Amino acid sequence: MIKNILVGYDESRPAQVALAQAIDLAEATSGRIRLLAVRTEEGPAPQPELAADSGIVDMVEVGLDEDELETEAAGAPPFVEQARTELAAAGLGGSIRMASSWQPAACLREEADLADLLVVGRSRAHSGGQVGRTTRNLLKSHLPCPLLICTNQYLPITSILLVYWPGPRGGRAVSLAAQLAATLNIDLDTVVTAPGRRAPRRERARVELALLAYHTEGEVVAISEAPAEAVLTAGLQYNPSLLVIPEPSLLRWPWQLAPLYSSALELPDTLLLIVP
């Protein structure tokens, strides 16, 4: 279950929304928040041989109580102080780290190795289908842990839609979506897609059987559309608060995101949870 939540944070409004969503989940799951405030380091670009490295220039721990804050990070910027205040007010265990890096996405990916969930904001733009540079770079390679991409406004999670297709990632997505639905006591609707099959009834039956262990409510339907089309069609039909999808196996598209991500991000008012 989700216990260790990492939040990518900066001074932007989307990052503040991401923190609010993470606090909600941590309260529901009795979890702990690790907040990583990444400031982009200005200066010359790193050498090509360092391109795969996170390029961390410095990393400072920030305590959650006043004494720790004064002794460890007296020079913390206002947006970090605001985050510390919100975490302390929520009564959650956690930590804050400030980092300077040439590559915020690589820095977050490195820290996420020990996380159950990485939470990030969507973008500074308020139009559908767009994500910020850091989030886009996270989606360009395989994720180290589940990734929650928030909307541009805080959104309570009141319904969950899972789009499933066969494979290990699909199985993990079923498990995580069902656990969340059971913990939050909300419905979980599931769309099973098995491209190339006239009626993927067998896969639907397998999913229904797996969900019995979680005592979740909601319907399970099967369609023959490809995952990218199924995500958009089902998202528009069910209009969920949270859409859960498995990570696609093929990610490297030269000039755009994988089609599955592009379809999912066409739903700007839906939280997106990607399960690797």
Under 8 Å between Cβ of 36 and 8: yes
Q: What pLDDT, on the 0 to 100 scale, is given for residue 92?
A: 85
| CATH 3.40.50.620, domain 4-149, yes or no | yes
Instruction: Name beta bridge partners: 120.
Output: 149
Q: What pLDDT, on the 0 to 100 scale, is given for residue 57?
A: 40
Q: What pLDDT, on the 0 to 100 scale, is given for residue 129?
A: 54
* pLDDT in single tens digits along all 276 residues of the chain: 899 999 999 888 999 999 999 999 999 999 999 999 887 654 444 443 434 444 444 444 545 544 443 334 456 788 888 898 899 899 888 889 888 877 889 999 999 999 999 999 987 554 445 788 899 999 988 999 999 999 989 999 999 999 999 999 999 999 999 999 999 999 999 999 976 655 578 889 999 999 999 999 999 999 988 999 999 999 999 999 999 999 998 766 666 788 999 999 999 899 999 999
- Classify residue 226 as left (phi > 0), alpha (psi -120 to 50) or beta: beta
d(CA 5, CA 23): 9
The reply to whether 160-275 shares the fold of 4-149 is: yes
- CA angle at 216 for the pair 214 and 218, rounded to the nearest 5°: 150
Q: What is the dihedral of CA 81, 122, 257, 97, to 10 degrees?
A: 10
Q: What pLDDT, on the 0 to 100 scale, is given for residue 197?
A: 59
Global confidence as pTM: 0.87
Q: What pLDDT, on the 0 to 100 scale, is given for residue 17?
A: 96
Radius of gyration of the chain (CA): 19
User: Domain boundaries in the chain?
Assistant: 4-149, 160-275
Instruction: Name beta bridge partners: 173.
Output: none
Q: What pLDDT, on the 0 to 100 scale, is given for residue 113?
A: 94
| CATH 3.40.50.620, domain 160-275, yes or no | yes
Place of tokens 């700007």: 268
